[in-house]
Amino acid sequence: MTLETSVETAGFRTAADRLAGATDAYSSLNKRPRPFEELIRLSLFFCALVSVLTTLGIVVVLSTEALNFFTRYGFRSAEQLLIQPVSAEDTILYFDGKGGVPRVGQIIRLNEEDMRVLRLIDNRTFEVERGVLGSRPEPHRANTTLFLGEQVSIIEFLTGTRWVPQGADFGVLALVMATLITSLVAMLVAGPIGLGAAIFISEYASARLRGILKPILEILAAIPTVVYGYFALTFITPLLRNIFWQSEIGAYNQLSAGLAMGIMIIPTIASISEDALSAVPRSLREGSYGLGATRRETVFRVLIPAALSGILAAFILGVSRAVGETMIVAIASGAGPNFSLNPLEAAETMTGHIARISTGDLSFNSVDYNSLFAIGLTLFAITLVLNLISNLIRRRFREVYQ
């Protein structure tokens, strides 16, 4: 009896145990907490986040430093002298009235001290608030020169055509114009040649020829830009001077920089346009040939319209590369901003200016340092707009084939 019971119990227990085991096994199929896996996941997520942080970093850095640029004061002599000495407490200043007069609210400077003009009593007598912008009120002797503080306004920055930091002239157009001219020359070279190369590779070349031409274009793309700069300076410029313009062309000029840049951009335009052309389905080509069209007619009337979005995107990408290209223009286009429409003249582009100014030990918080970021922001904005346009065009002109 006892034995049986025990056996039964044992049997029962075994079954129960099994059942319990099964339930255990079942419950173990549920998601178990895996802290290590979570940790991995988090750290991988952080890796992916770095790129977002980079973008944020670029935007934040460029805008804060550019903001510093637009809010800092540059001081220009007003050609006025103090006629009465002032103590540290006086708030009324008497000048000789021979030079420029500040506006109400403008910052003026005497020696080391900054003041804000509160009231103009007459053209030579001002009431001021002493010791603003972190300076300390101190006494000043007669015949101290008056300096007027001015901020660079955004309007002035965007519309001015002179860039002379020493003279407090910050017109970014002087730099933008050079960028535009070099990019334009580059696109005149790279646009037709790049597109022509793409059409040839994708439509005309045999597989064997394509196997030769594509790597050659890739090699062109792999050459460092400083080498193109060298090419522009030591080859294209002398060539232009020897053949076309003996005397009109300087040792540094925008044309040769633009030409070298054009050669550099050819592969960019060619490879993207070629991708776009290859993506056009074969049925379209066959249809066109079936109607008796020649290859040229097929290319111009069928393929290019069908691949237009990709081709335009390639062109815009080319422009954005040209705008952002630095070393070619830094080497071949010359130093010193110059607002000129003549591509035979030397002029400094935005990127060239940044590269030249930042070479060596640039001291932080100087006008130069801050102005670099204002230019950088402009450059970033231009390339961003170009990228956006490229995306827009891609969406607007996209022909969807299955």
For residue 189, state whether it binds another protein (rule: CB under 8 A): yes
Alpha-helical (H) ranges within 232-349 are 237-243, 254-278, 282-290, 295-298, 304-306, 308-324, 327-332
Of 9 and 54, CB closest to another protein: 54
Query: Edge to edge, what strands does the sheet with 113-122 contain?
Result: 73-81, 145-151, 107-110, 113-122, 125-129, 92-94
320 binds another protein (CB under 8 A): yes
d(CA 351, CA 323): 8
- Contact of 84 with 144, CB cutoff 8 Å: no
**SS3 letters across 306-317:** HCHHHHHHHHHH
Collect all residues with Cβ–Cβ distance below 8 Å to 296 and sequence separation of at least 6: none
110 binds another protein (CB under 8 A): no
CB neighbours (10 Å) of residue 221?
A: 13
Specify the residue, 51 or 87, whose C-beta has the smaller distance to another protein.
Answer: 51
Please, what is the minimum distance in Å from the beta carbon of residue 205 to another protein?
8
The amino acid that residue 341 corresponds to is L
Residues 226-285, interacting with another protein (CB under 8 A): 226-231, 233-236, 238-239, 242-243, 259, 263, 266-267, 270, 278, 282
Nearest distance from C-beta of residue 234 to another protein, angstroms: 6
Shortest distance, position 91 Cβ to another protein, whole Å: 23
Binding-site string for another protein from residue 1 to residue 40, where x marks contact by CB under 8 A and - marks none: ---------------------------------x-xx--x
Closer residue to another protein, CB minimum distance, 116 or 394:
394
Q: Where do we find the tokens 């972190």?
A: 134
Please report the DSSP string for 160-186 in residue order: ---EEGGGTEE-THHHHHHHHHHHHHH
Question: Structure tokens of 88?
Answer: 């540290």
**Per-position x/- string for 56-85, each x denoting binding to another protein as judged by CB under 8 A, each - no binding:** -xx--xx--x--------------------
Closest distance to another protein from the beta carbon of 3 (Å): 43
Q: How far apart are CA 337 and CA 352, in angstroms?
A: 9
Question: Contacts with another protein in 214-233 (CB under 8 A)?
Answer: 214-220, 222-231, 233
Closest approach, Cβ 23 to another protein, in A, equals: 20
Give the number of other Cβ atoms within 10 Å of residue 21's Cβ: 10
Q: What is the DSSP letter of 363?
A: P
Between residues 55 and 166, which has the closer beta carbon with respect to another protein?
A: 55
CB 234 within 8 A of CB 158: no
Residues forming a β-bridge with 127: 92, 119
- The terminus-to-terminus CA distance of the chain in angstroms comes to 80
Q: Which residues between 127 and 166 bind another protein (CB under 8 A)?
A: 141, 143-145
Compute the least distance from the CB of residue 6 to another protein, in Å: 39
| Smallest separation, CB 271 to another protein (Å) | 10
Q: Tokens 């890796």 appear where? A: 47
Burial of 72: CB neighbours in 10 Å, binned 0-12, 13-18, 19+: middle
Residue 176 interacts with another protein (CB under 8 A): yes or no: no
What does the alpha-carbon distance between residue 181 and residue 347 come to, in Å, rounded to a whole number? 10
Interface segment toward another protein; rule CB under 8 A; list 45-53, 88-96, 125-133, 146-154: 45-53
Minimum distance of another protein from residue 105's CB (angstroms)? 28
Residues contacting another protein: total by CB under 8 A: 109
Does 94 bind another protein (CB under 8 A)? Our answer is no
- Single residue of 70, 75, 94, 380 touching another protein by CB under 8 A: 380
Q: Judged by CB under 8 A, does residue 54 bind another protein?
A: yes
By beta-carbon proximity to another protein, the closer residue of 73 and 289 is: 289
Q: Which is nearer to another protein, 115 or 217 (CB)?
A: 217
The nearest distance, CB 323 to another protein, in angstroms, is: 7
Residue 65 C-beta: closest distance to another protein, Å? 6
